[in-house]
Amino acid sequence: MATTQTLLAGTGVHATGAVHANLTAAPLIAAAMRRGEGRLSADGAFIGVTGIHTGRSVADKFVVQDPEVMNDVAWGKINQPMSRAHFDTFVGRVRGYLGAQPELYTEDLYAGADPAHRIRVRVVTTNAWHALFARNMFLRPPAAELEGFTPDYTILHAPELDAVPAEDGCKSTTCIALSFKDRIIAIAGTSYAGEIKKSIFTVMNWLLPARGVLPMHCSANLGPNGDSALFFGLSGTGKTTLSSDPERQLIGDDEHGWSDTGIFNFEGGCYAKVINLSRSAEPQIWDASHRFGVVLENVVANEHGHLDLDDGTLTQNTRSCYPIDFIPNTVPGGQAGLPKNVVMLTADAFGVLPPISRLTPAQAMYHFLSGYTARVAGTEKGLGKEPQATFSTCFGAPFLPRPPEVYGRMLADLMGRHGTDCWLVNTGWSGGAYGTGSRMSIKVTRALLRAALDGSLAKADFVRDPFFGLMIPTAVPGVPTEVLNPRGAWADKAAYDRTATQLVGLFEKNFGAFEAGVGDDVRAVAIKAAA
C-alpha cells in the first residue's frame, strides 16, 4: 500500500493529514459534497463557484529568472520575472500550507497524446472538485502506468491561501509562479480552475519548440476523408463550438501540437464556455454538460438544480469541464495526420471583417502574429460587459514563454512544407459594430467552414477587399450573398468606411512590434492605411 510520502514524492509537501490519490469521478464528487465544496445540478454535474476570481489572473503570473532560461524567455507583461529567493519563499509557504491540511487530493496525469512528446503531471490540491477538474481536463493514464509514476512537472494548488506580496515578490494575494528549472507551478489565492489547465499549456509552449513541435492554442477535428483541420482563436471566438461538429470527429477543443508526422491533443477533456449555450445550435456541448462527472464552473442553477445557462450573474465566463469522450464522435487516441486546413477565428467587435476570407501563406503568418479578436467579457478578471478589441500574438499571448516570432516562424514553415490552406473567419459582428450590428449566425459560419474544409470554397471566385487586402468569396451555396461582403451588410456605407479605416490603423500600430522580425513577404501583405 502506498504511503503518504510515496503519494507526494517529488512535490516537497510533507502531509500530516490524509492524502487521496487518483480518485475517479464518483469518489471525488462524493468527497466534494461531503466537504461542502459545491452542489449538484439536477443532472448530477458538480457546480463549483470560484468567488471573485472568475477568469485568469493575468497580472499575477510569474516565471522564475533562473540562469538556465534567462536568454530564452520573452520577459515582460506576460512573463513577469520572479527572483529565485522570492520563488523559494512562496513555494515554501504553499508547501507548508498544503502539508498542514487535514485532506489533500492528488492526481497523476499526462499532457500530450503523442507518447513521444507527452509530459507527466502531478496535481496536488486542497479541493476534491479541483482534482476532478484536473482529471477531466488532462489525459488519464491506465492504472498499470500509475505504479511508480514520477512527475515531470508538479502543480501545487492552494486556492484558499493568500500570497504575501512583500515576501513572495508578487503583486497581490493571488500568485501563479512557474519555475522551468524546478519544474514546479505553485498557485495560490485563486479558485479559478482554468489556472491549472493553462499553467501546463505554458509548460508545453516552453518545451515543444526545442523538439521541433509547434504548440498551438487551437481546437482540431477530423473529416470523413481523414482530413484534419485546426481552429485558432481566443476564448469566446468559437474554437470549442465550431470544432464540435456532428459531421466531423473532434480531436480536441483547445490545445494541440503539430509535428512533422501530424497533430495531437495536449488534453483529455474540454473546457467549454457555456454562457447562452443553445441546445439546438450546440447539441454536443449541451448534452455533455448535463450529466454526472462534469464540473460546471460559476454556472447558475435554481433550487432544484436546473441550470440557467443564460444567467451571467456570477460571470459571463461560465464553463463546463468534461472528459472528451463525453462528446460522441471523437478521435480515439487524440492524434491525426497533417492538417489540410488552418482556420483563424476572430470575433470582430467592429463588424468590418468578412465572415470568411482566404489567406496566402504570408497573410497567414501576418494574422497569426497579429492575433486580432475581441476579448469577450469574463474570460479575464477586470473586463467589463462589452467586448474589447485586442491583439493577442499567435492567438495565445498569455501562454507563450518564448518570443512570438519563434512560434510564427514554425507555423509558416509547417504550412509551407505541408501545403496547408488557411482561412480567416469572423465569428463576431455583421451589419454594424457591437451594439449596432448583430452577432454572426452560427449556421452561416458552419456553412462557410464546411465549404472551406470540403475543398469546394477554394474553387470559388474571389474579390479583394480594399481595406484589409483579404480575398472574399463572391458566392457560397446556402449563404446570402450580401453577408459575404461586410460593407454590403452595413446600411451606412460611410460609417463602414470610417470604422474599417479605424481598425486598419489598429492593425498597423500593432504590427510595428513584429515588423523587423519578419520577412519581406509578410511585410508586403501587412495591413496599412492608404498613403
What cell does 94 get?
A: 504553499
DSSP-assigned letters across all residues of 367-416: HHHH-EEEEPTTSBTT--SS-EEEE-GGG-GGG--S-HHHHHHHHHHHHH
From CA 168, how far away is CA 82, in angstroms rounded? 9
From the list 41, 50, 53, 56, the catalytic residue is 56
CA-wise closest residue to 27 among 115, 89, 105, 94 = 105
Residue partners of 377: CB distance under 8 A and separation at least 6: 316, 317, 383, 384, 385, 386, 387
Please work out, in degrees rounded to the nearest 5, the angle formed at the alpha carbon of residue 229 by the alpha carbons of 226 and 230.
150
318 is an active site residue: no
Helix and strand counts by DSSP (H, E) for the chain: 15, 30
| CB distance 472 to 484 below 8 Å | yes
What does the DSSP 8-state code read for residue 37?
A: S
From the list 86, 122, 197, 198, the catalytic residue is 198
Handedness of CA 84, 85, 88, 91 (dihedral sign): negative
Identify the H or E element spanning 258: strand 255-259
From the list 118, 120, 239, 290, the catalytic residue is 239
What cell does 49 get?
A: 463557484
Residue for cell digits 510533507?
14
How many CA atoms lie within 13 Å of 5's alpha carbon, on the beta-carbon side?
0
From the list 256, 273, 319, 375, the catalytic residue is 319
From the list 53, 135, 140, 217, the catalytic residue is 217
Number of residues that make up the chain: 531
From CA 50, how far away is CA 416, in angstroms rounded? 44
From CA 176, how far away is CA 460, in angstroms rounded? 48
How many C-beta atoms lie closer than 10 Å to residue 340's C-beta?
18
What cell does 225 get?
A: 476523408
Alpha helices in 249-323 (DSSP H): 283-289
What cell does 369 get?
A: 502574429
| CB distance 334 to 359 below 8 Å | no
What cell does 444 get?
A: 452561416
From the list 41, 54, 240, 499, the catalytic residue is 240
Q: What is the dihedral of CA 276, 282, 284, 287, to 10 degrees?
A: 40
From the list 219, 235, 373, 499, the catalytic residue is 235
198 is an active site residue: yes
What cell does 492 get?
A: 451606412
From the list 114, 227, 245, 254, the catalytic residue is 254
199 is an active site residue: no
16 is an active site residue: no
217 is an active site residue: yes
171 is an active site residue: no
From CA 193, how far away is CA 176, in angstroms rounded? 12
Which of the residues are catalytic? 56, 198, 217, 235, 239-240, 254, 319
